[in-house]
Amino acid sequence: MTLTYNNDQHRLYLEFTDGIGQGWIEVFEGDTQFYSAAYWDLLTAVWRAEGPVRKTDALGFMTAIKSPHTAGKYIEQALSFGYLVETDNPVDARSKLITMAPDTHKRMDQFFDDVVGKWRKTILDVERRGPSPEIE
């Protein structure tokens, strides 16, 4: 098997992903219980929505969680910590809406801004440390 990139470039990728993980923990002020793929899936999907989403739809955001009951526990935990906010659905009284709490949204905006900066730096470092066939 021929590799496209060298080990130095692979290590840069690992350093980059380690930095993403550390930044994600900082979004939650060091609380590592939110360092999970389920919360990543849930909260990034709610952030992407740029507005309220039906709570039942949010259950499906956590792709690795197959049980709606278990997914609901993750949502309830995020609500109890104030990372998400639940409101009545004005269009359908049978459902609830969730949205990102303003402070959490602000911290996630900063997180993504920091990640994009690190991503750009990593790309330049990868190019400097070896082959980059896709740009040659």
Q: What is the CATH number of the domain that holds 38?
A: 1.10.10.10
In a domain, 125, yes or no: no
Phi, psi for 81 (deg, rounded to 5): -85, -5
pLDDT of residue 133: 83
The pLDDT of residue 38 is 97
Beta bridge partners of 69: none
Whether 62 maps to a domain, the answer reads: yes
Q: Is residue 66 part of a domain?
A: yes
The answer to whether position 23 is within a domain reads: no
Residue at 101 is within a domain: yes
Instruction: Give the contacts of 123 (CB within 8 A, at least 6 positions apart).
Output: none
Q: Is the residue at 16 inside a domain? A: no
**In a domain? residue 19:** no
| Structural domain that includes position 67 | 33-114
How many structural domains are present in the chain? Answer: 1
Query: What per-residue confidence (pLDDT) applies to 131?
Result: 86
Identity of residue 122 = T
Chunked mean pLDDT (size 10), the chain, 136 residues: 94 97 96 96 97 96 96 98 97 95 97 97 94 75
- 106 within some domain: yes
pTM: 0.91
Q: Do residues 111 and 19 touch, judged by C-beta distance below 8 A? A: no
